[in-house]
Structure 1
Amino acid sequence: MPTTPSHPSLVWPRSDGDPSRWPQVSAPNDTDWYFQEVPETDGRWVYYEQKTAEAVCRHLGLDVDVTKQRMPLPDGYKLYAHRKRQGDGSLRTDYYVYGSTRAPRFRSTREFEQHAIWLFDTSIPLEEHEKCGCPYSKSKKSSRQSMPATFKRSRLSAAASMSPAPSASKRPRRSLGAIEPRHHNTPRKRTQRQLTQQMSDLDDDIEDPEGPEIPPTVPDRANELLSGQRFRRGELIWFKCGPFTAPAGTDTQGVGPIGLWPGLVSSYDHRAHTLSTTSRNGDMTQVILHYIEYHIRPLGCLDPKTEVRRDAKDLMPWLGGTGLFEGGLDQYDLIGDQAMAALRRGANAAAEQILSTGAKIRSEFEQMIKLLPGWGDKWGKPLKFEELEDWDVIVMRLAYGIRLASSIASCWTQTDKITPLEDDPDLTEEDHIAVKNHELFLYQGLYLGGERIWLEDMVRIKKSRAELFSESHMLKGSNGSDSRCMTLLIRKICVVPKLELSAEGKREYRCIVYGDLFELEELESKSDVEELVTATGEEGMGQKPVVEAYTPPKGFRYRKLNPDDSEIMTDVCDVAGRMYPDLLDYDTQNWLIDPLNPEVSKGRQTPDDHHWSLMGLRPGLATASKSTIWKKDLADVVFFAPRTTWEEMTKYYERLVRDRLELDQLEV
């Protein structure tokens, strides 16, 4: 019998379920796979009902204990067990939810939660599944478009540690699926069962290999690389706002006017504006200006549908926000201190409210504390950005937003899995075999440090020349190159399993980036060519690269360091982030003083080493991604960071209320 919803709001307004989408069940089979229905009394049914209800409660903003709610699956949905005999005789069981007419099946509650939220949003027709946040709203897998034409080249492996790499000689090209572990210790032998299980499970842990096909190039990748736009969908940024100022007489504890706010780029529109001018003789001239309008979702425990729109000039990369507050880096600590002080005042008021009820024993207080009085009415209320007025709330939401953005920036994941073509010129026969054996996975992008990075991007590297490679295999550095960062033109993004298991016996993987290494060389004269133009040869089968030219900072040019018959290999952890070669150009931003146009200085600040590093003119470590937490996909990042931040802040608020009430001194 279907579960009864635990709350009146947890009733499905609609369903896209259809029993015809259920798999064919069969009797157990010792030699092949088979499906079995999972009884509704099974613990996995209960788990799906609980996690779905929890996600919907959070989406609807219900004032309930979300961890204790349950709701049935939508009409037409059912849970099945897929059982498959392994090579060693063991039986592997995976659980899937079937029934949706918009997705093949859901492999986990995490995948289904966003689909459930989409079903509850009746403003979106069922035909517009592309607006759903589940993994199946956008195709994840594609046939791989060949990279820019290159020679069949050997690979020069970058050092994995932060010490100079040992001397390495050119070697024949090897299979990507046979890369040594990062540390060259002797690998521990694995049993055949471990090997079989690792290869069998690898697809589920990295990305679903059975998703629907999509065009060879992800549209976002093509649009963003071809347009050369500074900011991309899903990226962390700072945007100009307000400024917000404290009321007269307020003790701001040193926090100055707030003129910038963290946010995420949700989308963008290409727009045109016509300017008409009339000369003295009556002739009219029209100029059409093309620009990009960015849609930004401000961070800070705000209404998830709130959005602001900004021109690119009023946006700054997340890594470039350091020091932009009035007062410099110290403002981050001051904002945090004042936000905590504001929450403490709010918690004291909530405690007084609880005391006014006349409660005397600890159990009565505990029941009221769980409701977090004052949080939902003020501190955690889903306000729109334009509704921010109270100074304490503004400072608290800003601190919340910075903490949330930092949590997002601490995560990284590979995106947009691709399958190579049979005649891909960049892969050997061994590579194709590795792909088929689930020992090599190829991707079109990365999400790292709050930035979207694509194949054919020019990225900054954290390491120096000496740390990357032996000098004998690279061109000598140009004058002053040691004070600038190395850059990598990405040709491939791969995920491979390590040859040894972890100390706990678990699988471990490496994400490896391949490409050509460059330095920024200062031009001797203005007549020198500044752009790096990528070549297209016969081996490219007539396919041109998405990006045909890479523009360096003014006064510099890209100088390739590795030989044409080789390429650089380095871990994703060595990538500092994207390049912003025109970051200081006065006509592209309203934040910083352009050294080439110092007269344009009103409302602008002097750039520091963080901004110069984003341009590539300081070492990569001066401004670098600190992403250390791997997530399976972008959806996992989206769930992890907001949920973690919400739990941290509400627990802190609850602790403040408890401290004020001195519960330890009360009777139970």
Structure 2
Amino acid sequence: MLPPHEVATDETIFRPDGFIKFPRSDGDPDYGPPNTVVPAKTDVEVNYYHVFGREEKRHDQWRTAFGEHLATYFKLDPLSRSKAKWKLYDFPEHYYFTEQRKGPALEPRTDPYLFGSQGHRFRSTKEAVEHFVWLLCDPDLNKANCRCKYCHKGPRTSTGGDATPKKTAGTKRKGEPMSASSAAGKVGRPRKSQNGDGTEPVQSQTSITIRGLDMKRLVPGLTIASVPQREQELMHELKRGEKERFRVGEMVWCRLEQPVVDPTDSSRQIAQWPAVIVDPGVEFTIQLGYDPEDKKDVKTSIEAVSAPSQRAESPPSLGGSSSSVQQSMVYQVAFFGTMETVRAPESALTPYLAGLIPHELINSDLGAREDHPWLFDENEFPHLNLSRQPDLPEPNFTKAIVAFGFAAEAVAVLRNLYSLTDAYSASDEPEQVLRDLGAAPTDEKKPADMRYYQGIYFGLERLWVGDVVRLRLSKSDIRKLQEQLNATLVADKLPGAPDPSALILDPDASYVLQLAAIYSDPRAPKMVRVAGEIFQIMPQAKYNALQADMQASIKRLEADDSLDAAARLEEAKQLEARLPKPSILTGKPGFPAMPPLPPGFVMISLSERLQTRIPRETTLSIGHVAGRIYPSLGMHSDGPRVAEQIQQTPADKRLAADEDTQIDLRARLSVAGLLSGCVKAMRGSSVHTWTRTASFRGALVIARTKLGKVILGEFDASDVEDSVSVSPSKTPSKKGKAAAAAAAELAAAATETPVQADTAAAGAEATNGAATQSQQTPVTTVETSPQDVAAATGGVAGDAPPSSEDEPPLLPGWVPRQSKTMGGWYFVHTQTKQTQWERPAA
């Protein structure tokens, strides 16, 4: 066996370009997948193995995962000499990476398997990594030296010191509450960091960890001078029911004073428009009353005083002491994709994720190219008069529907982008400050520190440190979080103390995070993480039921004569400790007070349930963040509605993990923070841009290109596939997305082509509110790929051919197209460009 350090320095294995090549293999060409024949499309049930090619995404993902595992094992830097992540060049010779597809033909179960080594198959990268280490280190290929679970047949090393059988972890007596050690699983056993220098290891993008607070990390806004924009937008207290304020650069829905109506069908109306927040302000309304000294002077008028940027001087009390002054928020907004700006009251604005594109707009007439000359000039934008200026003509519906689709599609792309802002350093040393801000190279001898930021433009919203955000956690993520919490309980247990009771998390609950840090690792610059305290939002009725069950258990315990008084008291304390306590919604130093929940809901801190000696915080990937929380959208009567909507969660795990619902109630409950954050979430972990300006321009360029193809009828099959593959199990009409509305979910269009957006494009910045960013960049490249943007998943609704003798002919104007990526057939209307999976027959 070769020593690990010798293998790690062998550049024929760990090549400078980041690829790892196997010098030898034990692969047997006769030991491969048993059945690789693809069944006929008419088969109802399937059972075969698909062999992945090197060019397929899943093949690349496994090779990347193996590269990370092997680099960690051989104690190499995460990046190679060429600054590329480690990755297998290919699997060992005569190894086959496959996926077993078994079950219903439309939605088969898929399980990955790696064939090659004679006598067994590997089910995961973790199972195979020890075998791959053996292939790299043993020139003789003596299987007695392999430590993988299949080759190593010897007894496992015992840590008990004698032959006495130990109680299996996870087993418990009937009626005994689960212990923290059992619930912690494999995470319960603390392990040393893989990094010899003691620094925090680079976390994977899906990892969820619990860590002790770094007391050296200063709180932004407390001892570090916070940026004025954060102070203005965040540091204020909201009363229950008061609307959360919108922020500069955010996308919202703006209700039009008068809807734009289709003259041929009054049910088609554009009642609201995507808008960018340009400048918030306060409007003062003075209601004049009666002057007690002059009863005859009756004042009934209303005078409004506006202050968009600064507080105006107090107006004189014209109506005596009985007059009243009311304040309300107003916003200067730009209608996205147009040249228009308008001053809108707060009541006319809605968070974008809480709104929906009307279903009735699907079959609207898009007109011809001559109706939309601005669409084919990158420096032009439409003039529609949405604000109904009296000296301008009324908006034309045909022109407005295309402009609306242009804006909606650009927003769909923008939803995938993020940009970090306002970096800061907690160091007092000027050189270290420059290194923390990325303005100076990092000392190679000293490990690079994390880079912290006070804010982030995340998808359609603006987030600051101190914000409370919704989390998009799948059931597997919640299990990981539960394991981490219980592992922390075990690690913090005093010697000789009994094993604490396990913390069991509700997989259907809504979880939110108060952002305490936004940071990136210089060793993995595209990996952005967030940290803070996690809270669970629970209906009051559910909490009362838990409290009642606990009280009943205590009464049963008091009636148990088999225990003495001391034992009963001790167990009663343990039962009370298991009941979560509602948190007091007060702000921490440097943080604002949390937004109050609607009546009927309580918030429970998971960190407080730990009761650890060292303060803890949870770290997650930025991809776990769903967006801001808007509790003012909630109602007192939403408790039963939440329970009802949980039952409506899609059965398909992939759909449930990122459900972009078209149901008003589900959207509102989600954005309010009362329903699981997997509903109506940002997809901001996809593509990083340097500025908000670059995000706006890149989104507009993509939208202009795609919509121009629709108007000209030059779109190809791949373009139409993007619109129909958003949810293949549902028709575009059910999703409320069509070419007429520019399909708000065409974010997958960003996966087609890299876009270079010239930031000097005339008029674009002022048009779309991008003037809020003072930083200018001459040329910005927004690269979006299938690995970055979250593509839609699911099976095709049908694999039948477009026509047969038993089926009626297609309706006039409809043509069949075959999906290049998924193999099924869909149908396109040549005039309206509408697409659907069902056969449009008479």
TM-score, length-scaled by structure 1: 0.51
Quote the Cα distance in structure 1 between the aligned partners of 2:671 and 2:459: 13
Aligned residue in 1 for 2:246: 231
Aligned residue in 1 for 2:470: 460
Aligned residue in 1 for 2:344: 310
Q: How far apart are 1:606 and its partner, in Å?
A: 9.6
C-alpha spacing 1:374/1:453, structure 2 compared with 1 (3 Å): closer
Quote the Cα distance in structure 2 between the aligned partners of 1:261 and 1:407: 16
Q: How far apart are 1:629 and its partner, in Å?
A: 2.0
Q: How far apart are 1:168 and its partner, in Å?
A: 4.4
Q: Which amino acid aligns with 2:533?
A: D
Q: How far apart are 1:257 and its partner, in Å?
A: 2.2
C-alpha spacing 1:295/1:245, structure 2 compared with 1 (3 Å): closer
Quote the Cα distance in structure 1 between the aligned partners of 2:375 and 2:595: 53
Aligned residue in 1 for 2:329: 292
C-alpha spacing 1:382/1:391, structure 2 compared with 1 (3 Å): closer
Aligned residue in 2 for 1:137: none
Aligned residue in 1 for 2:703: 645
Quote the Cα distance in structure 2 between the aligned partners of 1:459 and 1:234: 18
Q: How far apart are 1:265 and its partner, in Å?
A: 0.5
Q: How far apart are 1:509 and its partner, in Å?
A: 2.8
Quote the Cα distance in structure 2 between the aligned partners of 1:237 and 1:581: 16
Pick one of 407, 416, 427 that aligns with 2:413. 407
C-alpha spacing 1:431/1:472, structure 2 compared with 1 (3 Å): farther
Aligned residue in 1 for 2:231: 222
Aligned residue in 2 for 1:39: none
Q: How far apart are 1:608 and its partner, in Å?
A: 0.5
Q: How far apart are 1:483 and its partner, in Å?
A: 3.5
Pick one of 596, 602, 618 that aligns with 2:675. 618
C-alpha spacing 1:480/1:493, structure 2 compared with 1 (3 Å): closer
CA RMSD of aligned residues (A): 4.7
Quote the Cα distance in structure 1 between the aligned partners of 2:453 and 2:436: 18
What do residues 567-586 of structure 1 show as CA deviations (whole Å, max 9, x unaligned)?
Answer: 10100000011111112469
Aligned residue in 2 for 1:392: 398
Quote the Cα distance in structure 2 between the aligned partners of 1:346 and 1:177: 61
Q: Which amino acid aligns with 1:276?
A: L
Pick one of 438, 453, 456 that aligns with 1:443. 453
Quote the Cα distance in structure 2 between the aligned partners of 1:531 and 1:216: 27
Range moving further from structure 2, 385-394 or 471-480: 471-480
Larger radius of gyration: 2
C-alpha spacing 1:314/1:484, structure 2 compared with 1 (3 Å): farther
Match runs of 1:237-316 below 5 Å: 237-246=252-261, 248=263, 250-251=264-265, 256-278=268-290, 285-300=322-337, 302-303=338-339, 306-316=340-350
Q: Any conservation in 1 of the 2:467–2:514 contact (CA below 8 Å)?
A: yes
Quote the Cα distance in structure 1 between the aligned partners of 2:454 and 2:509: 27
C-alpha spacing 1:636/1:556, structure 2 compared with 1 (3 Å): same
> SS of the residue aligned with 2:632?
coil
Q: Which amino acid aligns with 2:407?
A: G
C-alpha spacing 1:236/1:167, structure 2 compared with 1 (3 Å): same
Aligned residue in 2 for 1:472: 486
Q: How far apart are 1:313 and its partner, in Å?
A: 1.4
Quote the Cα distance in structure 2 between the aligned partners of 1:417 and 1:516: 21
What do residues 450-508 of structure 1 show as CA deviations (whole Å, max 9, x unaligned)?
Answer: 01010011111111532433152589999995443111111111111456xxxxxxxx5
Q: How far apart are 1:595 and its partner, in Å?
A: 9.5
> SS of the residue aligned with 1:624?
coil
Quote the Cα distance in structure 2 between the aligned partners of 1:595 and 1:574: 25
Q: How far apart are 1:216 and its partner, in Å?
A: 1.9
Quote the Cα distance in structure 2 between the aligned partners of 1:218 and 1:280: 48
> SS of the residue aligned with 1:509?
strand
1:182 aligns with 2:207: no
> SS of the residue aligned with 2:330?
strand
What do residues 157-200 of structure 1 show as CA deviations (whole Å, max 9, x unaligned)?
Answer: xxxxxxx9952467899999632341799xxxxxxxxxxxxxxx
Unaligned runs of 5+ in 1: 1-89, 91-163, 186-214, 351-370, 500-507, 536-543, 587-592, 597-604, 661-668
> SS of the residue aligned with 2:325?
strand
Q: Any conservation in 2 of the 1:498–1:509 contact (CA below 8 Å)?
A: no
Q: Any conservation in 2 of the 1:379–1:396 contact (CA below 8 Å)?
A: no
Quote the Cα distance in structure 2 between the aligned partners of 1:477 and 1:390: 63
Match runs of 1:313-328 below 5 Å: 313-322=347-356, 325=358
C-alpha spacing 1:641/1:183, structure 2 compared with 1 (3 Å): closer
> SS of the residue aligned with 1:532?
coil
Q: Which amino acid aligns with 1:545?
A: G
C-alpha spacing 1:285/1:625, structure 2 compared with 1 (3 Å): same
Q: Which amino acid aligns with 1:308?
A: V
Q: Any conservation in 2 of the 1:411–1:629 contact (CA below 8 Å)?
A: yes
Quote the Cα distance in structure 1 between the aligned partners of 2:699 and 2:436: 39
Q: Which amino acid aligns with 1:489?
A: Q
Quote the Cα distance in structure 2 between the aligned partners of 1:630 and 1:284: 56
Aligned residue in 2 for 1:518: 535
Q: How far apart are 1:319 and its partner, in Å?
A: 0.5
Q: How far apart are 1:623 and its partner, in Å?
A: 1.8
Pick one of 579, 598, 601 that aligns with 1:556. 601
Match runs of 1:590-601 below 5 Å: none
Q: Any conservation in 1 of the 2:206–2:621 contact (CA below 8 Å)?
A: no
Aligned residue in 2 for 1:160: none
> SS of the residue aligned with 1:256?
strand
Q: How far apart are 1:518 and its partner, in Å?
A: 0.8
What do residues 38-65 of structure 1 show as CA deviations (whole Å, max 9, x unaligned)?
Answer: xxxxxxxxxxxxxxxxxxxxxxxxxxxx
Quote the Cα distance in structure 2 between the aligned partners of 1:168 and 1:594: 37
Quote the Cα distance in structure 2 between the aligned partners of 1:467 and 1:634: 33
> SS of the residue aligned with 1:277?
coil
What do residues 335-384 of structure 1 show as CA deviations (whole Å, max 9, x unaligned)?
Answer: 4x52xx42xx313x68xxxxxxxxxxxxxxxxxxxx96996799954455
> SS of the residue aligned with 2:414?
helix
What do residues 290-338 of structure 1 show as CA deviations (whole Å, max 9, x unaligned)?
Answer: 21111111013x21xx211111111110110136x3xxxx34xx44x52
Quote the Cα distance in structure 1 between the aligned partners of 2:206 and 2:450: 20
Quote the Cα distance in structure 2 between the aligned partners of 1:529 and 1:487: 14
Aligned residue in 1 for 2:105: none
Q: How far apart are 1:409 and its partner, in Å?
A: 1.4
> SS of the residue aligned with 2:693?
helix
Quote the Cα distance in structure 1 between the aligned partners of 2:627 and 2:675: 13
What do residues 93-124 of structure 1 show as CA deviations (whole Å, max 9, x unaligned)?
Answer: xxxxxxxxxxxxxxxxxxxxxxxxxxxxxxxx
Aligned residue in 2 for 1:167: 187
> SS of the residue aligned with 2:598?
coil
> SS of the residue aligned with 2:350?
strand
1:533 aligns with 2:586: yes
> SS of the residue aligned with 2:674?
coil
Quote the Cα distance in structure 2 between the aligned partners of 1:533 and 1:561: 16
TM-score, length-scaled by structure 2: 0.41
Quote the Cα distance in structure 2 between the aligned partners of 1:582 and 1:170: 42
Q: How far apart are 1:395 and its partner, in Å?
A: 1.2
1:634 aligns with 2:684: no
> SS of the residue aligned with 2:631?
coil
Q: Which amino acid aligns with 2:232?
A: N
Unaligned runs of 5+ in 2: 1-81, 83-183, 208-223, 239-243, 296-319, 490-500, 545-580, 641-661, 717-829, 832-842
Q: How far apart are 1:234 and its partner, in Å?
A: 0.6
> SS of the residue aligned with 2:409?
helix
Q: Any conservation in 2 of the 1:517–1:561 contact (CA below 8 Å)?
A: yes
Q: Which amino acid aligns with 2:355?
A: G
Q: Which amino acid aligns with 2:629?
A: M
Quote the Cα distance in structure 1 between the aligned partners of 2:663 and 2:452: 41
Quote the Cα distance in structure 2 between the aligned partners of 1:515 and 1:286: 46
C-alpha spacing 1:481/1:279, structure 2 compared with 1 (3 Å): farther
Q: Which amino acid aligns with 1:553?
A: P
Quote the Cα distance in structure 2 between the aligned partners of 1:459 and 1:545: 17
Q: How far apart are 1:286 and its partner, in Å?
A: 2.1
C-alpha spacing 1:486/1:169, structure 2 compared with 1 (3 Å): farther
Quote the Cα distance in structure 1 between the aligned partners of 2:428 and 2:600: 43
C-alpha spacing 1:572/1:376, structure 2 compared with 1 (3 Å): closer
* Higher RCO structure (Cα 8 Å, ≥6 apart): 1
